[in-house]
Chain A
Amino acid sequence: MASTIVVSDLHKAYGETRAVDGVSFAVEPGEFFGILGPNGAGKTTTLEIIEGLRQPDRGTVTVLGESPWPRNPRLAPRIGVQMQATAFFERLTAREQIRAFAELYQVPVKKADEMLETVGISGKDKTRTDKLSGGQKQRLSIACALVHDPELVFLDEPSAALDPQGRRNLWDLLRGLNAQGRTVVLTTHYLDEAEMLCERVAIMDGGQILEMGPPATLVRGLDAPTRISVETGVLSTDEAERLFPDATVEDDTVSLTIATRDPATVLSALAERRALKGLAVRSATLEDVFLQITGREYRA
């Protein structure tokens, strides 16, 4: 089966800034694909080129076997797009909003009402969209992207305005979409989100893809030590260093942290000494991979 999206050697510059600088990747049918990167990495521009909103300076894009640029009306009913800004008609209620989108896609209004239910805001159907909370707006905007049952869904930072409950709720929704066989492409700068949801991620910075692969593979490739912490006092720093000569030991007066590549030995030694009070084991995450390759310095 042909790939759902094929992007090859994409370039897009705005004046001097190279927003997208030689990006190539493919997304397979039914895949959950994530594009990660700090702000200004070129995620949104890449996404907008694939959606057909922008023309690349160079490179080719194929979406569901078609070219998205210039505006391709055959693609419109097959893709669903949720944009970073909540693009709504002004002064409409949530229900009127999604019904308007349903009509634009020639979908029965019943489907629109069901979609409100699916994203869990049917209780707010009579509320004007400007009175909805950030999370409710986000859900409505996702519902509007899904109302015509597209086979390919693009989500640009869907959890940006959500609280922790809202994010988890959204994750369930997105997993459900993917489980129904839809291909989902998502951009995010939440790494836990990417790790939870995406089968494969591309880490972008400076308009280029720096790493690409399943999150677990990327983390393993980092070969980072596991950090094991216990409460300060249950074990002295000296003793810890004596017991685990290969590990790095730190004590910040709250926790004693042992960074090791051999967590099994350390854990069993601690257990033998009954020194497990306040135990926390943290292995490397996608965040470590991300910070490793995009750098830690703050860029405004």
Chain B
Amino acid sequence: MMHGVRTLARVMLLSFLRDRISLFFAILFPLFFLVLFGGVFKDQGASSVPVQQVGAVPLIDGLPADARAEVDKVLKITRTGDDAAAVEAVRKGDAAAAVQQRGDQLVVRYSAADQVRSGIVQGVLNSLVQQQNLAASGRPARYSLVSEQVEDKSLKAIQYVTPGILGWAIASGATAAAAFTLVQWRKNKLLRRLRLTPVGTGAIVTARVGVSIGVALLQTAVFIGLAQLPYFGLKLSHYWWMSIPVVIAGTLAFLSIGLLAGAIAKTEEAAALITNLVVLPMAFLSGAFVPLDFSPKWVQAVANIFPLKHLVTGTQDVLVRGKGPASVLPELAILLAFALVLAAIAVKAFRWEDD
């Protein structure tokens, strides 16, 4: 039994590594998405709002250096002497607001088209005005606001993008691998041929599971390794290694989906189609590409039936959210239960050959 598993595993791995298309879809294609999303949203956290300052604005210009630095984190202030040009820039959306000082009045002009950014500008400037008023009154401040971000201070888009894309890559890789092995080996009768060797079916399944888990761990290593480059800046939290059992359980869940797809599909094309039909919508609905926090409640509820949601949530929790090892036990249990149920259905649907 063991020698058979080893041989079959080696053969499957060789075949995977020599198949440029499967290699592309398992590693390069998701990496491309990782680079795209991670790169595009890289500066999202630090992105500042452009503001045009017309002429001298003592309220801003007179700020102490440390206070000015705080303002610059939020607003990117450019000076201009031309009032009309500044207003035109606001109208076109090149600047969120134009600001000038008339005596004791700070005048902000903004466009209703960009309420979020103009809101930020007004809020910041308003707080500056209040501070100056308070200072002018000569009394110490009574209340103060202290705000802290809930997540790690370094949290950037890459922290969400990495587990999401990784989950999607593992899901499509494992599903396709199981489906293709089944369809190809049934079509060329290798499945029956192997049945006549001393190793039998158990060894085939064991080898497939082993190789797919290996590939999933390779994907995990490559993705996390790349995302940790300074350019992307992924920071792993303390219990990151708990993502390994989550990845393994997720691989098992998607292998069972692939087995079922392979049992139903008659050709490789059909297997590829079923794989994409299952995995791609699931990726969107499970928060692999875009966080679910912004989607309607019913989508979030539906997402719970998808194994990908639990794979992504589980890896996120331990990889970047800093949750403890025990926090992913429910996800692990759900993924394993899903794998068991679907594998049982796949065994029922299994055929040795096409009719």
Contacts and interface: CB of A to CB of B under 8 A. Distances in A.
Interface of A: 51-53, 71, 73, 76-77, 79, 81, 83-92, 96, 100-101, 103-106
Contacts of B189: 83-85, 87
A87 B192 contact: yes
Contact of A71 (B14, B19, B195): B195
A104 B197 contact: yes
A86 B196 contact: no
A89 B197 contact: no
A104 B14 contact: no
B198 A77 contact: yes
Contacts of A91: 14-15, 18-19
Contacts of B194: 104
B188 A103 contact: no
Nearest to A75: B196
17 contacts: A53-B192, A53-B196, A71-B200, A73-B198, A73-B200, A76-B198, A81-B196, A85-B188, A87-B188, A87-B189, A88-B188, A90-B19, A91-B18, A91-B19, A103-B3, A103-B6, A105-B198
A86 B14 CA distance: 19
Interface secondary structure of A, over-half rule: loop
B190 A51 contact: no
Contacts of B18: 91
Contact of B15 (A81, A87, A89): A89
A100 B19 CA distance: 18
Interface string B8-21: 10110011001100
Contacts of A86: 188
B108 interface: no
Contact of B197 (A84, A92, A105): A105
A48 to B, nearest CB: 8
Contacts of B197: 76, 101, 104-105
Given A91-B14, A92-B14, A104 B198 contact: yes
B276 interface: no
B106 interface: no
Contacts of A92: 11, 14-15
A96 B8 CA distance: 12
Given A53-B195, A73-B198, A101-B197, A87 B190 contact: yes
Given A87-B190, A89-B15, A91-B19, A79 B198 contact: no
A90 B196 contact: no
B184 interface: yes
Contacts of B195: 53, 71
A106 B3 CA distance: 8
A76 B19 CA distance: 31
A79 B14 contact: no
Contacts of A90: 15, 19, 184, 188
Interface of B: 3-4, 6-8, 10-11, 14-15, 18-19, 184, 188-190, 192-200, 352
B7 A100 contact: yes
Contacts of A83: 189, 192-193
Contacts of B19: 90-91
Nearest to A85: B189
Nearest to B190: A87
A28 B6 CA distance: 37
A129 to B, nearest CB: 10
Contacts of A96: 11, 14
Given A71-B200, A103-B4, A104-B8, 10 more contacts: A53-B195, A53-B352, A77-B198, A83-B193, A85-B188, A87-B192, A89-B11, A89-B190, A90-B184, A96-B11
Nearest to B19: A91
Contacts of B352: 53
A209 B85 CA distance: 99
B7 A51 contact: no
B194 to A, nearest CB: 7
A108 to B, nearest CB: 12
Which of B15, B194, B197 lies at the interface centre, i.e. has the most chain A CB atoms within 10 A of its CB? B197
B198 A87 contact: no
A77 B200 CA distance: 12
A166 B266 CA distance: 33
A52 B196 contact: yes
B22 to A, nearest CB: 10
A52 B19 CA distance: 33
A104 B4 contact: yes
A150 to B, nearest CB: 10
Which of B8, B184, B193 lies at the interface centre, i.e. has the most chain A CB atoms within 10 A of its CB? B193
Contact of A81 (B4, B11, B193): B193
Contacts of A71: 195, 200
Contacts of A73: 198, 200
Contacts of A105: 197-198
Which of A73, A89, A103 lies at the interface centre, i.e. has the most chain B CB atoms within 10 A of its CB? A89
Contacts of A100: 7-8, 10-11
A105 B193 CA distance: 12
A76 B4 contact: no
Contacts of B190: 87-89
A96 B10 CA distance: 10
Given A88-B188, A90-B184, A104-B4, A76 B14 contact: no
